Structure 1
Amino acid sequence: MYGGFITPPNDPGAAFGVLFWHKDGFSTACGHGTIALGYWAIAKGVVKAPENGTYDVVIDVPSGRVAATMHLVNGKPIYADFINVASYQISKGLQVAIPSSQKQLSVDLAFGGAVYATLNADQVGLKVEPKNVNEFIKLGREIKASLGTRAHYGKYDCYGVIFFDEEGEEKTDGQDLVIKQRNVTVFADGQIDRSPCGSGTCARLAVLHAEGRLGPKKNKLRHRSIIATSFEAEILEEAQSPIAKFPASIPRVRGTAQLYGKMRFYIDPAEEIYPGFLLR
């Protein structure tokens, strides 16, 4: 489960703020959560959006100010564009040792609102498919442990490990390339993102940008998840990079969301296991 505590905005420039949480604590960013909050804000009347056209739901998150640009038809959101903070590669070709297999892997670090280690899944001899999920969880934990403090970036620790498969390229009508990849993101302490991971998609854009495969309004990434849902992502514009040898950009990630229900949780301080338990 992934959730968020809604907070007041930092200033009137945003509709509200959010603190994202999961079973292992809090996270600095969540792209699919931002998309979901855009849908929620429209459906619940938190913001006043037009019946048709676009509307920016501006949200303050720990990594900065982001927006879910909602595209509406007859009052209903059709899809949302997640406009993220500046994203960029941090380092390239870090060597990590995997004790369980005695393998040496090469990973890239990138920032997309959170820090991710990314690598092609063929390095570990696996395809990004549901049947391999437990092996990816194990490897994700080993990679994070092997990276240790090398993956620390300012106030950020390594949040997740992204394993990706290359699935080819295709041309659009405008002759831009669509780069197709499928990924599985292992985040926190061995959790799997069922979505293509919004902030992780921005991290992948940053690596592709550094490789010269993408640029502002040049080519796109179709990013599929381990369960085959997909985001379409592109670079909107260049941004100032804090890492001199790698470019930075403002990314846009397009996806959809639905409202599934309403739940209420109760906490009783008198409960024997208050405030909860965690099994690893």
Structure 2
Amino acid sequence: MDLFNSICSEGSHAIKTIDMHTTGEPTRIVYAGFPDLQGTLLEQREQAHTSYDHLRKRIMLEPRGHFDMYGAIIRRDTELVESGDADIGVLFTHNGGFSTMCGHATIALGRFLVDTTDECVFPGRRKLTFDATTCTAQVRLHAPCGVVTITVPTTSDGRKSDPSRPVSFLSTPAYAAATDVQIDIPAHIRWEELGTRKSIKFDISYGGAFYALVTARELGFANGLQAVDIDQITACIRRLKPFLTSHPRVKNALDHPEGSSMSFLYSVMVVDENIGYRPQEIEGVETGLCYFADNEIDRSPTGSCVSARMALRYHKGLIAPGEKRAYNSLISNHFAEGAFIARIASVCPDTSVIVQVQGFAYYTGTSAFVWEEGDKTSQEGFVFGKCV
């Protein structure tokens, strides 16, 4: 400890984190040491991007993190916390910047926010609603996409989370943005598995962020996601995602009331409805492989995209409110645990839906990150593949 205190005094101020995972997908929760931010949560997100992006890189990338790291920066003060509509705020971060919603991190945050006793981290902890009958606590989380209500199972006294039961959250309104979109794929974009086909068909749906949803077979992978070659499908998405992002038909579907800060294609989700670990008492099941940000691969089933996929199924008349469906990643299939279970909790007047998503998150460690003066290599972090 004396050595660490010496390092902290000689270097920069420590950024303190708790690390968790949800079905293998990391969440590095930044609870202290990040600079103060001003304004609304979306304005704070912009300020973090313009003024402190070097800290995002320092926390997320090598040598402290890695290409597929994910983070959540606690924001104690937001306009909705001040108005009483939320208990605490958060900014989500990844290898490419800041996202608008994240389900797997929300599940992890639910446990952390119930477990923390530090009022400097979570001033509203003692005010959380505790249900003694169900032994659960509710946290209203202000994410950039809106307020997400988390239900966290607890011990009988409500003082700690209960890791043996799943955390769940209610999404912001989710909806199908465009269905059965067919676009031509130019010759310079095509990938080997596409063969002689010159177009693909996909859907766009919103679950706190916009997702392009396409089946693996539509991309030319005949076996779907069964024993898929990750290198081959990643090469495909590296060609496809930038093309979709700039395509006029895709851009026209990405219309969010908050404007450009929310109206962008966050991810391409490759789906396979023919495979997937099936938990007990669940009828429908499928598997997804999510490429988001700078082609990060989500290890979890991707909670915000589960909301988007449920909204799409409801729009197409393939699921009724209350009916449960299991969503898998390649990791949950491998370990036969960690599927996200979802249901349509309610239908909004505009036919968008509120989706309940549940899953398990676990603690993996704690860190206090510092930067020593003169250390150019780790000042902003780096991605190995972009240095060679």
* TM-score of the superposed pair, with normalisation by structure 1: 0.87
Aligned counterpart, 1:38: 110
Aligned counterpart, 2:71: 3
Aligned counterpart, 2:211: 116
Aligned counterpart, 1:83: 170
Matching residue's letter, 2:190:
P
Question: Structure 1 CA distance, aligned partners of 2:331 and 2:151?
Answer: 25
Secondary structure, in 3 states, of the residue corresponding to 2:380? Answer: coil
Matching residue's letter, 2:74:
I
Aligned counterpart, 1:71: 153
- Greater helix proportion: 2
Given that 1:95 and 1:105 are in contact with CA atoms closer than 8 Å, whether structure 2 keeps it comes out as yes
What is the CA deviation profile of residues 59-116 of structure 1, one whole-angstrom value per residue up to 9, with x for unaligned ones? 1111111121112243432211111100001001222425123542111000000000
Question: Structure 2 CA distance, aligned partners of 1:129 and 1:4?
Answer: 32
Say which is worse superposed, 60-69 or 133-142, in terms of deviation: 133-142
What is the CA deviation profile of residues 213-245 of structure 1, one whole-angstrom value per residue up to 9, with x for unaligned ones? 11322x22200111123000010111244xxxx
Percent identity of the aligned residues?
28
Question: Structure 2 CA distance, aligned partners of 1:105 and 1:113?
Answer: 25
Matching residue's letter, 1:83:
L
> Does 2:191 correspond to 1:105?
no
What is the CA deviation profile of residues 128-166 of structure 1, one whole-angstrom value per residue up to 9, with x for unaligned ones? 256522223222232222222433313221111111111
Question: Structure 1 CA distance, aligned partners of 2:105 and 2:227?
Answer: 22
Consecutive unaligned residues in structure 1, runs of 5 or more: 242-246
Question: Structure 2 CA distance, aligned partners of 1:267 and 1:94?
Answer: 47
Matching residue's letter, 2:146:
G
Aligned counterpart, 1:188: 293
Secondary structure, in 3 states, of the residue corresponding to 2:363? Answer: coil
CA RMSD in angstroms, aligned pairs only: 2.5
Secondary structure, in 3 states, of the residue corresponding to 1:215? Answer: coil
> Does 2:338 correspond to 1:271?
no
Pick 1 or 2: higher relative contact order, CA cutoff 8 A, min separation 6: 2
Aligned counterpart, 2:273: 166
Structure 1 stretches of 4+ with a deviation exceeding 6 A read none
Secondary structure, in 3 states, of the residue corresponding to 2:231? Answer: helix
Question: Structure 1 CA distance, aligned partners of 2:203 and 2:217?
Answer: 15
Say which is worse superposed, 114-123 or 101-110, in terms of deviation: 101-110
- Greater strand proportion: 1
Given that 1:130 and 1:227 are in contact with CA atoms closer than 8 Å, whether structure 2 keeps it comes out as no
Matching residue's letter, 1:277:
F
Given that 2:226 and 2:275 are in contact with CA atoms closer than 8 Å, whether structure 1 keeps it comes out as no
Given that 1:60 and 1:66 are in contact with CA atoms closer than 8 Å, whether structure 2 keeps it comes out as yes
* TM-score of the superposed pair, with normalisation by structure 2: 0.64
User: Radius of gyration: which is bigger?
Assistant: 2
Question: Structure 2 CA distance, aligned partners of 1:22 and 1:237?
Answer: 30
Question: Structure 2 CA distance, aligned partners of 1:151 and 1:56?
Answer: 36
